[in-house]
Amino acid sequence: MTYQEAVRWLYALEPRGVRLELDRMRAALKLAGNPERGMKFVHVAGTNGKGSVCAMIERGLRAAGYRTGLYTSPHLHRFVERIRVNGRPMSETMLARRATKLRAMLERKDAPALTFFEVATLLAFETFRAAGCDVVVLEVGLGGRLDATNVVTPLLTVITHIAFDHMQYLGNTLPRIAREKAGIVKRGVPLVLGVREKGARAAIERVAKAKHAQIITPGVLPSLRVALRGAHQRENAAIAVTTLQQLRTRGLKIPQRAIESALGSVKWPARLELVRGAPSMLFDAAHNPDGCTALAEHLKEMHAKRVVLLFAAMSDKDHEAMLAPLAPLVASIIYTRPDTPRAAAPTTLARVRRGLVIPSPSTALRRARTLAGKDGLVVVAGSIYLLAEVRAKALGVRTEPPIAM
């Protein structure tokens, strides 16, 4: 397959949806020779913040001289962003070659019918093994207990923050969601726990106690510069620093200067990403109420002259809870719809909070810039689908469909 053919094959798996179980993944790994075995992992779960925490941990390990693997999801612009070796996305040539081999294996009669995310995870394990990665930072896709990544025994597990999201899969209370996330906790493996909410934390603590997993609570972050914007990123940085410090106790040599370098230089696009211009633009992957609250807190600190919110969301989200913290801080809201059937209709969003309805993201972006004026700020938030589409247009970035799995 060519790269384009490989991506089309992967995306054709989307209709299989989300099927949370581990039997298929374990069977596929066995057919592939168990590429996950023999590697060192840091396994990271959480509702919000886990991508940023993963990026900081990986950057710290790389600054310490280790050859790193990083697996995150979803991608922003291109599938290969999900699988990185030493900070670089896997090459298109590598993806085409590995996907061709993997498709042949999965067409065997004894092969399980994997979902998109399961195939992506298997590709990641094979890539990291072939690259000889010293340590792999592995982000959970959805939940934890039955997520396709939960087939490893890591050096450390990390749970960042628990909030309401994906309730149709994980449960409708924070303790229930927390128990699903705590499914990554392994017997005798320390857990760095950044969860503060009492009910969620108590649920995780019970799981950790049953598995004799030591809980390490992140301390206050010392006065280190954090490249990622937002007060919540300092909390994420504290989790990452604690994880890197704990990895020292597991035999890794990570000097303090590597940690300082990591926090000060880490990059993670579309997380309060400010692109200066006339007007300036702020891209943020806030896609649930908790994320929108963090975005609102940052907007309060920015004191921008005229803020226009360009917003879209998936139909299964709590739109009122997402818009409530943002609406009082913006001069106007434009509702649009990215190219995905899961997106809520802009007219539906406009019934929640008053705003302009412009279905085309390109047209909506032009109108948002006009309304903000040269000295204003356009904030793009609500859905990674929207961010991928608008950021690509605004910055001239090559993009592919931002499949959410």
CA 148, CA 117: separation in Å to the nearest integer?
A: 7
pLDDT band of residue 368 (cuts 50, 70, 90) is very high
Tens of pLDDT, residue by residue over 297-343, are 999 999 898 999 999 999 999 999 999 999 999 999 999 999 888 89
Which tokens belong to 137?
């930072």
pLDDT band of residue 222 (cuts 50, 70, 90) is confident
| 3-265 CATH | 3.40.1190.10
pLDDT at 404: 62
Asked if residue 241 lies in contact with residue 57, where contact means CB atoms within 8 angstroms, the answer is: no
Is residue 405 predicted with pLDDT exceeding 80? no
Tens of pLDDT, residue by residue over 269-304, are 999 999 999 999 999 999 999 999 999 999 999 989
Sign of CA dihedral 268, 168, 319, 360: positive
- Lowest-confidence pick of 158-162, 223-227, 347-351: 223-227
* Torsional class of 202: left (φ above 0), alpha (ψ -120 to 50), beta (otherwise): alpha
CA 395, CA 335: separation in Å to the nearest integer?
A: 21
- Give the residue from 395, 376, 396 showing the smallest Cα distance to 280: 376
Same fold, 3-265 and 273-395: no
Is residue 216 predicted with pLDDT exceeding 90? yes
Which tokens belong to 327?
């609406």
Is residue 371 predicted with pLDDT exceeding 90? yes
CATH topology for the 273-395 domain: Protein-Tyrosine Phosphatase; Chain A (3.90.190)
Tens of pLDDT, residue by residue over 106-162, are 999 999 999 999 999 999 999 999 999 999 999 999 889 999 999 999 999 999 998
pLDDT above 90 covers what percent of the chain?
A: 87
CA 248, CA 188: separation in Å to the nearest integer?
A: 17
Is residue 167 predicted with pLDDT exceeding 80? no
Can you give the residue ranges of every domain in the chain? 3-265, 273-395
Tens of pLDDT, residue by residue over 242-255, are 999 999 999 999 99
* Torsional class of 110: left (φ above 0), alpha (ψ -120 to 50), beta (otherwise): alpha
Q: What is the mean pLDDT of the chain?
A: 94
pLDDT band of residue 370 (cuts 50, 70, 90) is very high
pLDDT band of residue 172 (cuts 50, 70, 90) is confident
pLDDT at 341: 87
pLDDT at 166: 67
Three-state DSSP state, 157: strand
pLDDT band of residue 400 (cuts 50, 70, 90) is confident
- Give the residue from 139, 137, 156 showing the smallest Cα distance to 46: 139
